[in-house]
Amino acid sequence: MTSFEETQKSIGGNLWKLLQADERAVELMMQKFNLPYLIARILVLRGVGVDEAGSFLEPKIQKLMPNPDVLKDMNKAAKRIAQAVMTQEQIAIIGDYDVDGATSSSVLRLFLEEAGSKPLIHIPEREEGYGPSKQAVDAFKAQGATLLITVDCGTTAFEPLEYAAAQGMDVIVIDHHEAEARLPQIYAVVNPKRLDEENDFPYLKFLAAVGVAFMAVVAVNRELRAQKFYSDAKPEPDLLKWLDLVALGTVCDVVPLKGLNRAYVRQGLKIMANRNNIGLTALIDKANLSEAPTAFHLGFVLGPRINASGRVGDADMSHKLLCCTDSYQAQLMADKLNEYNVARKDIEAYVMLQAIEMLEGTPQAYPIAFVAGEDWHQGVIGIVAGKLKERYNVPSFVMSIEADEVKGSARSIPQVDLGALIIAAKEKGLITKGGGHTMAAGFSLEKEQIEAFRDFVGQYVVEKIGSEAVTPVLDIDAELDAAGANLELVDYLEKLEPYGAGNKEPLIVLKNVHLIKPTLIGVGHVRCVLSSANGGSLKAMAFRVGDNDIGHAMLTAKGENFDVAGVLRRDRWQGRNEVQFILSDIRRAG
């Protein structure tokens, strides 16, 4: 496969880099699995070895899920939860207000209810803060709870959970967030990221909280079975029916779709297509999804609607919807989530516009996007930070100035580790609290420290990337001629799904193509036909480019040839079964 120059910016402002694959490994993959070159190449580029390719192409939960007891405290936690079920103790659950939290708490609640328990549920409002609180513990204590389970939170919640233990509750954490060397002094902490965990199954560290919760449900169910709890009058539940929620939480938490996660999502999408979850079905219908949901729909259609309740609405509505058994009530809640999502978009657009005006109206001293506003809804600052990062390709920090403190969210580029930055800022006393990962973080600080924090962040970033924004690079997986973009290839590409974190949708370049009849349609989309020199042709669509350089170049192309970058997908609109190219970038050929 030929390479191409990486020194010239595309019309979209990117450098294109054709990824280099081990050609011997590609050849071996082709021979062993009878795959086309392009598919074998993508597998090799994704780091899939020949020994792993079978489980990657056909992921099975029964093969990829180990005995849940490989996780520390899992056996202990399962026995305690099973005991609470059998003796009808009052169980209480605290979850997070995002999709992973909603699905985690729903999977656990639905299982416990089918086993005969009636757990109490608390999803904190965003203003209450992330994770468990003493107020929630006191409320549960007043209602007679003796077992408290946290999902998608709790690993570092030392004070409230140790307070709950002092009140006589047994506390179990089911989580996936980064752990410290010290753990809360409670009954059990089940978290694959515990520092003392073994590494026999490294892909367990990729699990979303809902994936860990499902493993816990498997362990509790096994313990109940061993205790002869189930009978003809109380049959054992079918755990697989909740994999649709596991898939939803896994995709929306943007964890790598590798190992067990891949099997969760592949099987969960099949379950979701059966439309057995009443609340999820109502949400799918409200979103006007007329085809079987894919990982894309989970992440970009359903996920934002579920997240909207925690951002701008009633935090526990999403969890209630996912557990709903009444179609009419489910429709009402789906309508409400849709309204929340519309409101979230409006609030987000308002904050985004103000942020852009601040950044582009004032010379910037550092290669960062650093903005703060007094009336900005903290539920959207993370989204805005992500969009600013995409727009300017620099680390972005967005802050909401509240009456008592400033709350911020940040998104980064690969060259700047936000987790390390936040730790350093905390050590210098510039922020009061904060944490996160390499690419995303949250933090709080005093209003008087904003400018000092800006200077610290700016200098930190300059040390890493210099004083100019880094030109973004598009990693190209393969080159293809338009004539080779057929349904057979799309069939093979679909075997690589689900796409997401750790398994991005393959980015393909079609070289030296002619754009036939480029037309502006909808809200800023451009449609055309791509034609290659050997007679191949392919329908193409570029979304939301009507007001940028890509769209202008497409609409004004007169006899020019271009190289185009994008993804191949199946077009199922109105019963079609055709190939289409979703164009993401473009450059003049040669």
CATH number at residue 415: 3.10.310.30
Q: So what's the pLDDT on residue 470?
A: 84
Residues 25, 13, single domain; the answer is no
Q: Of 243, 190, 221, whose CA–CA distance to 114 is shortest?
A: 221
Residues 552, 404, single domain; the answer is no
In this structure, is residue 530 part of a structural domain?
yes
Residues 52, 193, single domain; the answer is no
Q: So what's the pLDDT on residue 6?
A: 62
Residues 485, 529, single domain; the answer is yes
Q: So what's the pLDDT on residue 435?
A: 76
**Nearest-angstrom CA–CA distance, 405 and 154:** 23
Residues 98, 227, single domain; the answer is yes
Q: So what's the pLDDT on residue 477?
A: 97
Interior angle at CA 540, CA 536 and CA 541, nearest 5 = 175
Residues 164, 75, single domain; the answer is yes
In this structure, is residue 345 part of a structural domain?
no
Mean pLDDT of 457-461: 96
Final residue of a structural domain among 465, 499, 527: 465
Please state the domain count of the chain: 4
pLDDT in tens, 233-242: 999 999 999 9
pLDDT band of 433, cuts 50, 70, 90: confident
Mean pLDDT of 68-85: 98
pLDDT band of 1, cuts 50, 70, 90: very low
- Sign of torsion over alpha carbons 196, 197, 202, 205: negative
Tokens of 432: 């009061």
**Nearest-angstrom CA–CA distance, 355 and 399:** 10
In this structure, is residue 326 part of a structural domain?
yes
Interior angle at CA 524, CA 516 and CA 6, nearest 5 = 65
Query: DSSP secondary structure string, 197-210?
Result: ---SSGGGGG--HH
Secondary structure of 24-51 in HEC code, one letter for each residue: HHHHHHHHHHCCCHHHHHHHHHCCCCHH
Q: So what's the pLDDT on residue 412?
A: 93
Mean pLDDT of 362-375: 93
In this structure, is residue 139 part of a structural domain?
yes
**Nearest-angstrom CA–CA distance, 237 and 110:** 10
In this structure, is residue 361 part of a structural domain?
no
pLDDT band of 4, cuts 50, 70, 90: low
Separation of CA 549 from chain center: 29
Torsion from C-alpha of 243, 249, 255, 257, nearest 10 degrees: 30
Residues 383, 329, single domain; the answer is no
DSSP 8-class letter at 472: P
Question: What mean pLDDT is reported for the chain?
Answer: 93
The listed range with the strongest mean pLDDT (3-7, 187-191, 443-447) is: 187-191
More confident residue, 350 or 291: 350
pLDDT band of 320, cuts 50, 70, 90: very high
With 70 as the cut, is the pLDDT of residue 402 above it? yes
Residues 196, 47, single domain; the answer is no
With 60 as the cut, is the pLDDT of residue 59 above it? yes
Residues 153, 192, single domain; the answer is yes
Run of H or E residues at 265: helix 260-273
CATH code of 569's domain = 2.40.50.140
pLDDT band of 2, cuts 50, 70, 90: very low
Torsion from C-alpha of 571, 257, 474, 6, nearest 10 degrees: -120
**Nearest-angstrom CA–CA distance, 534 and 482:** 9
In this structure, is residue 356 part of a structural domain?
no
Q: So what's the pLDDT on residue 580?
A: 95
pLDDT in tens, 508-544: 999 999 999 999 999 899 999 999 988 889 999 999 9
In this structure, is residue 538 part of a structural domain?
yes
Instruction: Look up the domain containing 195 and give its range.
Output: 64-335
pLDDT in tens, 115-153: 999 999 999 987 777 789 999 999 999 999 999 999 999
In this structure, is residue 319 part of a structural domain?
yes
Identity (one letter) of the amino acid at 3? S
Q: So what's the pLDDT on residue 315?
A: 86
Residues 293, 249, single domain; the answer is yes
**Nearest-angstrom CA–CA distance, 294 and 402:** 39
Final residue of a structural domain among 286, 318, 335: 335
Residues 6, 107, single domain; the answer is no
Residues 395, 331, single domain; the answer is no
Q: So what's the pLDDT on residue 558?
A: 83
Helix H segments across 277-414? 278-286, 295-297, 303-312, 317-322, 327-360, 381-392
**Nearest-angstrom CA–CA distance, 330 and 393:** 40
Q: Of 500, 531, 424, whose CA–CA distance to 258 is shortest?
A: 500
**Nearest-angstrom CA–CA distance, 529 and 354:** 38
Q: Which of 38-42, 112-116, 287-291 is least confident?
A: 287-291
More confident residue, 315 or 186: 186
Separation of CA 169 from chain center: 33
